[in-house]
Amino acid sequence: MTDVVVIIPTTPFNTLRNSEGLRMSVGLTLEEDNKVTVLFIEDGVYLLRKTDPELIGSGIIYKHLDALRSLGHRVVADKESLDERGISELGTEADILPRGRIVEMLTDADRVIPWQ
């Protein structure tokens, strides 16, 4: 089993980069031995709010997140980043973890892919 964490730290507004990062994350699940976690941190947590991807120009978001979850992979949000931005309600499912657990998760991962 290869534990892969993809980090998304940037805002989804007016960029297709995050959508591409999520497409890549779904693609990583094509190797059955990969266990994929997508981590939303800093401004990346805005992706988890309820938004209209067409209006904010973010490309496809929820379809990729749903695919990841339905395939048994994980979506994680950094609690500190959510709190700093006053985000208490998410538009999609995610495991909210404190920073300490995030650090552990990254330390334990076999591969970390920061997606800027």
Stretch that binds other proteins, among 28-36, 52-60, 70-78, 95-103 (CB under 8 A): 28-36
Query: Segment contacting other proteins (CB under 8 A): 22-30, 40-48, 58-66, 99-107?
Result: 22-30
C-alpha to C-alpha distance for 93 and 70, rounded to whole angstroms: 11
b (16+ CB within 10 A) / e for 16-31: eebbebbbebbebbee
Which of 8, 26, 76, 94 is the binder for other proteins (CB under 8 A)? 26
SS3 113: strand
Residues that bind other proteins (CB under 8 A): 2, 4, 17, 20, 23-24, 26-31, 33-34, 111, 113-116
